[in-house]
């Protein structure tokens, strides 16, 4: 991955601290942005930037991000569920617990490590640390991912995602009952100011849109169909928690939330929490036009056994 240059113009209503603005626009940590500022790799209207300065509408910010130090990724003979494969791309069903690509603390055992063993070559458009990866799933989310084998396929898929032409439908279970059968959540998401490992709904964040439909209503939880319109980090989990209905089993955005669900159904609530060993979130459907052939591609992945067993119990209890 080569050194990259970015030109960012501050829009109306986007006035903010420089480090926060650049962090949100480029999806970099604020610490990373501050280091770029200290290295004089960030300018505002042609002059060296200051990390704490306030940038105003109309300001032109230029950022130079150096190439990362190369890290060799080893191919590993790990089991993966390949749903579809052709000469340009793959669709895989990622297991819960598997990290998508290497990162600090996860240099091995990732989906990329497994793919490199099973596939001769992957696109490097996304960088050497994320070969073939067009979009991601959280570690504890199961379900469908499309992976690019060629650069042309990668660019085509990335453009389709940006233009919202890729349909991604998830199955989720949340605590409590939504007031409406269908709702669109349109709320910007950015880094949590108090904990950069978390995301949060924030006026300074990037626009995020999620469509939610209730499929089944259980005693004190709802089974939902969730459609992503954008693809922000932790988007579904953050939006549903913001709505007041966090994903069951979410240890980051919904930890302990069920304690407020008392009354005669408390035993049911406790049992659902006990049975759900990880966040109840599954990428169930993936629909897109093939970036090379133009063919309409449709894929569906049923709930894996751990979540299917929970859903069966909850619906019958």
| Catalytic residue of the set 27, 81, 124, 138 | 138
- The answer for residues whose C-beta is within 8 angstroms of residue 248's C-beta and 6 or more apart is 173, 174, 175, 221, 254, 258, 272, 273, 276, 279, 280
| SS3 per residue for 125-151 | CCCCCCCCECCCCCCCCEEEEEEECCH
Beta bridge partners of 189: 201, 206
What six digits make up the tokens of 24? 């949100």
Dihedral over Cα of 211, 215, 218, 223: its sign: negative
Nearest one of 281, 303, 299, 307 to 141, comparing CA atoms: 281
- How many Å apart are CA 317 and CA 161, to the nearest integer? 39
Rounded Cα distance between 315 and 195, Å, is: 36
- Tell me the C-alpha distance between 249 and 140, whole Å: 10
Which of 97, 157, 109, 117 has its CA nearest to residue 133?
157
Nearest to 137 by CA among 164, 113, 110, 117: 110
Distance (Å, rounded) from C-alpha 310 to C-alpha 297? 30
Q: Is 27 a catalytic residue?
A: no
Q: Where are the beta strands (DSSP E) in 45-175?
A: 47-48, 54-55, 60-65, 81-85, 89-94, 142-148, 167-175
The residues carrying an active-site annotation are 138
């Amino acid at each position: 991955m080569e050194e990259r240059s970015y030109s960012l113009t501050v829009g109306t209503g986007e006035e903010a601290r420089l480090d926060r603005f650049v962090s949100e626009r480029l999806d970099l940590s604020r610490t990373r942005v501050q280091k770029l500022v200290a290295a004089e790799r960030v300018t505002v209207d042609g002059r060296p930037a200051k990390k704490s300065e306030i940038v105003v509408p109309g300001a032109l910010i230029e950022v130079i991000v150096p190439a990362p130090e190369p890290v060799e990724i080893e191919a590993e003979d790990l089991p993966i569920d390949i749903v579809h494969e052709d000469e340009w791309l793959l669709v895989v069903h990622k297991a819960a617990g598997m990290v998508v690509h290497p990162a600090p603390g996860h240099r091995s055992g990732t989906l990329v490590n497994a793919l490199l063993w099973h596939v001769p070559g992957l696109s490097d458009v996304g960088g050497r640390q994320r070969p073939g990866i067009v979009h991601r799933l959280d570690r504890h989310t199961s379900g469908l991912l499309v992976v690019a084998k060629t650069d042309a396929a990668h660019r085509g898929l990335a453009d389709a995602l940006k233009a919202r032409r890729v349909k991604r439908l998830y199955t989720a279970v949340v605590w409590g009952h939504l007031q409406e059968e269908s709702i669109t959540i349109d709320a910007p998401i950015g880094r949590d100011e108090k904990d950069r490992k978390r995301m949060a709904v924030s006026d300074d964040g990037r626009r995020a849109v999620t469509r939610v439909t209730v499929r089944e209503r259980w005693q004190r939880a709802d089974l939902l169909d969730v459609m992503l319109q954008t693809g922000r980090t932790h988007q579904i989990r953050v939006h549903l928690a913001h709505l007041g209905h966090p994903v069951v089993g979410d240890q980051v955005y919904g930890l302990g939330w069920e304690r407020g669900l008392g009354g005669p159904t408390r035993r049911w609530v406790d049992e659902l929490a006990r049975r759900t060993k990880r966040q109840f979130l599954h990428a169930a459907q993936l629909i897109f036009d093939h970036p090379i052939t133009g063919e309409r591609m449709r894929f569906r992945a049923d709930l894996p056994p751990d979540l299917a067993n929970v859903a069966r119990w909850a619906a019958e209890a």
